[in-house]
């Protein structure tokens, strides 16, 4: 029996992968059902969709999300700097898709439930104990549960991580606080498949106009202090609408009509964090995966896809390697080089969003050159065309 802590993305995906490997799993989520319905739009790239397909869970996402195959970058004068492909689908597989975070979470939770996996809500992990034979999770409400292994899929502020490595570095504030929304299209021409993104003078704006009815968007604002969702919501989102639109005064971008068209439904994502490399992801029978182990800035566009890849590879490792310690060491060995690269990539992108005027001018010039002469979609194949073959046997990593 596996105790899976966290019912976000990594949690239900891991529970389904474990079930496919013949291991029972129960999910313990700190919030109530529906609390996961938070967040703006985010991409699941071709590699994340491939991981879901490996455990037969891709169908659960059918009818949700919209293909988002390219990102076009603009400077603040609305000059196109270049366009990149967001996915490299294998033949017959879907391309990168942009989802409403809440809808995707609900779909994964529903799929896990339909496979007989139980999620216990309002179970906040506060303490872990383990022996040679089992591990026990203690929850804030005084209850506890025991199993053979404990998988910490409890996000960037993970309680499991503090147990795995009490000296683990704290998550780093990336310098950005983000907002978003799904609104009515105020008359913008549709551009299906393209997220447009603009480096404004004071903030970063992304918008997606798939058809004549809707527009999805986000704003990342450089701020010295990491304002949390709770702090922003306490002020009231109404106060934030003029502040956000005002940040783009003088920039050639349609922020004002987009944000005003849905002022009442402003989504607060809050301060963004990443997590520098962890020395270890495991301690005995306890493992961390997803954001708990390697949070990349949302600017990487890969947080959820990496969580899915971890979760599916974990199922393979525990299927093929009896000893949990060796299985976890093998997972870390297989996954770590990849996740390290993504965290570094995300940090670079986040800092380019928060650049001052001189750095911004250099960034725009280099980016334009880069897009024209150096960028080739195939250079991202290591990331976007990753394929997990569920039936491939996993060889234990050398101790």
Footprint of ligand FAD (CB under 6 A): 5-11, 28-31, 36, 38-40, 42, 101, 124-125, 153-155, 159, 180, 269, 290-292, 298, 303-304, 307
Give least dist CB 272 to ligand FAD, A. Answer: 8
* CB closer to ligand FAD out of 75 and 300: 300
* CB closer to ligand FAD out of 5 and 209: 5
Per the DSSP assignment, residues forming a β-bridge with 216 are 182, 208
Give least dist CB 174 to ligand FAD, A. Answer: 12
Q: What is the DSSP string of 88-106?
A: -PPTTSPPPEEEEHHHHHH
For the record, the structure tokens of 153 come out as 């899929």
Per the DSSP assignment, residues forming a β-bridge with 178 are 220, 270
CA proximity to 198, closest of 160, 250, 142, 241: 250
* CB closer to ligand FAD out of 10 and 329: 10
Give least dist CB 187 to ligand FAD, A. Answer: 25
Question: What radius of gyration do the chain's Cα atoms show?
Answer: 21
Give least dist CB 212 to ligand FAD, A. Answer: 24
Give least dist CB 296 to ligand FAD, A. Answer: 7
- List, as own/partner pairs, every contact residues 256-262 make where C-beta atoms lie below 8 angstroms and the sequence separation is at least 24, other chains included: 257/186, 257/187, 257/188, 258/181, 258/183, 258/186, 258/188, 258/207, 258/215, 258/217, 259/181, 259/183, 259/217, 259/219, 260/186, 261/183, 261/184, 261/185, 261/186, 261/215, 262/181, 262/182, 262/183, 262/184
Q: Which of 276-288 are b and which e, b meaning 16 or more Cβ less than 10 Å from the residue's Cβ?
A: eebeebbbbbbbb
Q: What is the DSSP string of 27-58?
A: EE-SS-TTTT----EEEE-HHHHHHHHHTT-G
* CB closer to ligand FAD out of 314 and 360: 314
* CB closer to ligand FAD out of 75 and 220: 220
Give least dist CB 279 to ligand FAD, A. Answer: 19
- Collapsed DSSP state (helix, strand, coil) of residue 228: coil
Give least dist CB 291 to ligand FAD, A. Answer: 4
* CB closer to ligand FAD out of 125 and 244: 125
Give least dist CB 326 to ligand FAD, A. Answer: 23
* CB closer to ligand FAD out of 23 and 145: 145
CB 101, CB 40: distance < 8 Å = yes
């Amino acid at each position: 029996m596996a105790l899976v802590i966290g019912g976000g993305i990594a949690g239900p995906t891991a529970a389904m992968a474990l079930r496919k490997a013949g291991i029972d799993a129960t999910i313990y989520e700190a919030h109530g059902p529906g609390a996961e319905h938070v967040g703006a739009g985010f991409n699941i790239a071709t590699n994340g969709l491939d991981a879901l397909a490996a455990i037969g869970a891709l169908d659960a996402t059918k009818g949700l999300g919209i293909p988002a195959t390219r990102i076009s970058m603009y400077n603040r004068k609305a000059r196109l700097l270049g366009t990149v492909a967001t996915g490299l689908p294998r033949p017959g597989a879907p391309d990168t898709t942009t989802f409403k975070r809440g809808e995707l979470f609900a779909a994964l939770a529903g799929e896990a439930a339909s496979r007989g996996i139980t999620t216990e809500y309002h179970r906040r992990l506060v303490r872990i104990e383990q022996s040679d034979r089992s591990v026990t999770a203690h929850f804030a409400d005084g209850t506890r549960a025991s199993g053979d292994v404990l998988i910490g899929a409890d996000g960037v502020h993970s309680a499991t991580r503090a147990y795995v490595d009490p000296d683990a570095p704290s998550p780093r504030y990336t310098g950005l606080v983000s907002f978003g929304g799904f609104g009515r299209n105020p008359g913008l021409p549709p551009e299906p498949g393209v997220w447009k993104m603009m480096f404004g003078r004071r903030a970063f704006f992304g918008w997606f106009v798939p058809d004549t009815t809707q527009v999805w968007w986000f704003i990342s604002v450089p701020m010295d202090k990491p304002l949390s969702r709770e702090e922003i919501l306490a002020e009231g989102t109404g106060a934030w609408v003029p502040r956000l639109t005002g940040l783009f005064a003088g920039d050639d971008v349609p922020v004002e009509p987009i944000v005003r068209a849905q002022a009442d439904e402003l989504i607060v994502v809050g301060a963004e964090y990443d997590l520098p490399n962890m020395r270890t992801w495991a301690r005995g029978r306890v493992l961390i995966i997803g954001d708990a182990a390697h949070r990349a800035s949302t600017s990487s566009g890969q947080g959820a896809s990496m969580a899915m890849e971890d979760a599916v590879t974990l199922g393979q490792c525990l299927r093929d390697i009896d000893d949990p310690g060796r299985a976890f060491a093998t997972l870390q060995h297989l996954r770590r080089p990849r996740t390290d690269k993504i965290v570094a990539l995300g940090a670079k992108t986040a800092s380019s969003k928060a650049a001052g005027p001189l750095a911004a001018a250099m960034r725009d010039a280099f980016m334009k050159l880069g897009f024209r002469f150096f960028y080739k979609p195939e250079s991202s194949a290591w990331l976007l065309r990753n394929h997990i073959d569920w039936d491939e046997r996993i060889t234990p990593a050398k101790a």
